[in-house]
Amino acid sequence: MITAGQVKELREATGVGMMECKKALEECEGDFKRALTFLREKGLAKAAKKSGRVAAEGVVEFAISADQKEAAIIELNCETDFAGKNQSFRDIAKQLAQLAMSKKLGSVESLKKEKFSNQNLVEADLIQLVSTIGENINFRRVEYLRVENGFITGYNHMQGKIGSLIVLEGARDAKGTELATDIAMHIAASSPRYLERSQISSAELEEEKKVLSKQLADSGKPAPVVEKILEGQINKFYADTCLLDQPFVKEPKLSVSQYLKASGSPVKAVRFVRFQLGEGIEITKSDFQHEVAELIK
């Protein structure tokens, strides 16, 4: 009889799913080495290397120059939230953001080739960090920003789970600084994809109209009514995706652009960046003990 312990051992050694591990052990009469070979011959076994494990935790960090004319934001990933709170891990993330800003780099590959601590390259220090922490480390993305006639402000949410930078043209006075901080917080909370409507591609907009039109086609409503509803839904699409069209979090009755105008400050939002930790990374969570118990049943 194949036990849960045998399945667990083979799974940890190969990275293969439990059902495949159980079948391999049954096929090989419980012989671990034969089962291991069996899985490898079938092309199912995965190398038990840290680089193959999902790294979706970690931290988002940014650095802003003293004159607020330059900034850089990075995402550094690890496997667990525990490791993401490791001080060495967080210190390196901060140093990477600072390095990206000082070297004016917006490419992960370029930054990896820069000299870091003790004249080591960044990529070498990250390999050392993998060894120290014992988890896969992935330097996922970086973006560099610069403004000539304006300033940059950032906001870090939930201890590095979300980071946002906003670039504003205009004077960096008390009012402008307050507005910039508020908008950076809004970006973190509201997840805009674009600054303004003109940045949405015609292809994406047409696809959205096509989907909405199809949903309204069978409503039985007169064409003029359908057209009016469609116009309202497209405006809602803009309000969902464009920063300047979104209801401002501190004053939802006004859009961000309306709030800026009402403030009386001459500042103008021209660019933003928002990084959310692990966004777009597919994570499969499972209760291993429960899965094994169900499998053995």
Fold of 4-50: Helicase, Ruva Protein; domain 3 (1.10.8)
pTM given for the model: 0.76
pLDDT in tens, 81-100: 999 999 999 999 999 999 99
Q: What is the mean pLDDT of the chain?
A: 88
Average pLDDT over residues 234-255: 96
pLDDT band at 297 (very low <50, low <70, confident <90, very high): low
pLDDT in tens, 13-54: 776 667 878 888 999 999 988 888 787 666 555 433 344 566
Tokens 């006004």 belong to: 254
pLDDT band at 76 (very low <50, low <70, confident <90, very high): very high
Average pLDDT over residues 101-116: 95
Chain region(s) in the chain for CATH 3.30.479.20? 55-146
Among 3.30.479.20, 3.40.50.150, 3.40.50.720, 3.90.1150.10, what is the CATH number of 55-146? Answer: 3.30.479.20
Tokens 């390095």 belong to: 99
Looking at the chain, the whole-number percentage of residues with pLDDT higher than 90 is: 62
Q: Which two tokens stand for residue 279?
A: 């966004």
Average pLDDT over residues 241-268: 96
Chain region(s) in the chain for CATH 1.10.8.10? 4-50
129: number of Cβ within 10 Å: 20
pLDDT band at 291 (very low <50, low <70, confident <90, very high): low
Average pLDDT over residues 134-153: 94
* DSSP string for residues in the chain: ---HHHHHHHHHHH---HHHHHHHHHHTTT-HHHHHHHHHHTT------GGGS---EEEEEEEE-TTSSEEEEEEEEES-HHHHT-HHHHHHHHHHHHHHHHHT---HHHHHTSB-GGG-BHHHHHHHHHHHH-S--EEEEEEEEE-SSEEEEEEEETTTTEEEEEEEES---HHHHHHHHHHHHHHHHH--SBSSGGGS-HHHHHHHHHHHHHHHHTT---HHHHHHHHHHHHHHHHHHHBGGGSEETTEEEEEHHHHHHHHT---EEEEEEEEETTTT-------HHHHHHHHH-
